[in-house]
């Protein structure tokens, strides 16, 4: 009797957990699904009542954005700025993180904390000094200026993350490689770096998401020729109304690349974010 009651309680608890997870998943995914579906509808179809989930899709909005609008230019600017800043942050952050993790010198922890503290600075507070610097060196409205702005925030985060991952690795294998004749850089490149590959992927995805989704830097430091996709969304709001079709399509283009990238490297992402969680 007691065994049956215990099984009943476990069944009820499991049903409750799965029901709560299902509700949370629907709550999180429904706006995204609705946005994607709306981007494939006509203007009248988006506001039809009751809403239609089965309809004949149309790609006229996407065709208009790429053929008659400047969306292709916005997309190219976003890709260049986000990938460039992520690459620079990963390269410098990996080298700096390894140096801080393996460097036996006084004040390494203080230096690491000072570096990550720069990432804690609100973007609004960093825009003014960056604006003055960029204006001085004629970087306003250029793709290079936007890459530098993104790297300013991505690099401290990447360095801190990679330092944590390298600190988790025992240095014995690197010492053994150097005893066998390997240089310090060879020990880093061939021994340490492959072991933190999940952390490298996780750090890269997070840096890429920040640069891809940024609006504050892109709205201040770009010109008409260097504006990114998030800025393009703001241009769809005018005094006469909102271009809902283009807004939905643009939102879909913003979300899908990050969603696909996250799903493609989800195993590495989970492993990377869990590295260093248990001390």
Domain coverage including residue 10: 2-58
Is it the case that residue 277 has pLDDT exceeding 60?
A: no
The domain total for the chain is 2
Final residue of a structural domain among 58, 82, 98: 58
* Mean of per-residue pLDDT scores for the chain: 84
Q: Which two tokens stand for residue 201?
A: 């992927």
Would residue 14 count as lying in a domain? Answer: yes
52 and 77 belong to one structural domain: no
Please provide the DSSP assignment of 172-216 as one string: HHHHHHHHTT--HHHHIIIIIHHHTHHHHHHHHHHHHHHHHH--H
242 and 270 belong to one structural domain: yes
Write down the pTM of the prediction: 0.83
pLDDT tens digits, 69-127: 788 889 999 999 999 999 999 999 999 989 888 877 777 677 877 887 877 888 888 88
Question: Under a CB-based contact definition with an 8 Å cutoff, are residues 154 and 118 in contact?
Answer: no
pLDDT tens digits, 226-267: 889 998 888 887 767 778 888 888 888 888 888 888 777 777
- CA atoms of 127 and 221, how far apart (whole Å): 9
227 and 189 belong to one structural domain: yes
């Amino acid at each position: 009797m007691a065994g049956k009651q215990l099984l009943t309680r476990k069944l009820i608890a499991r049903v409750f957990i799965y029901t709560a997870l299902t509700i949370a998943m629907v709550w999180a995914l429904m706006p995204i699904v609705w946005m994607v579906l709306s981007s494939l509808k006509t203007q009248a179809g988006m506001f039809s009542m009751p809403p239609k989930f089965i309809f004949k899709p149309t790609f006229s909005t996407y065709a208009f954005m790429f053929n008659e609008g400047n969306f292709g230019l916005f997309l190219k600017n976003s890709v260049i700025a986000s990938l460039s800043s992520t690459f620079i942050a990963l390269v410098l952050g990996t080298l700096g993180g390894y140096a801080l993790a393996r460097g036996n010198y006084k004040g390494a922890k203080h230096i690491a904390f000072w570096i990550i503290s720069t990432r804690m600075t609100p973007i609004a507070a960093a825009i003014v000094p960056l604006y003055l610097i960029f204006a001085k060196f004629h970087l306003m409205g250029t793709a290079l200026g936007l890459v530098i702005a993104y790297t300013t925030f991505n690099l401290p985060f990447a360095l801190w993350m990679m330092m944590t991952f390298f600190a988790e690795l025992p240095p014995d294998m690197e010492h053994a490689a150097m005893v066998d004749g390997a240089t310090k850089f060879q020990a880093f490149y061939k021994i340490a770096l492959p072991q933190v590959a999940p952390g490298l992927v996780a750090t890269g995805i997070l840096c890429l998401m920040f640069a891809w989704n940024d609006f504050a830097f892109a709205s201040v430091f770009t010109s008409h020729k260097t504006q990114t996709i998030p800025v393009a969304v703001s241009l769809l709001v005018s005094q006469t109304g909102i271009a809902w079709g283009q807004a939905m399509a643009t939102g879909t283009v913003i979300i899908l690349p990050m969603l696909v990238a996250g799903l493609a490297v989800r195993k590495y992402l989970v492993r990377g974010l869990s590295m260093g969680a248990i001390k």
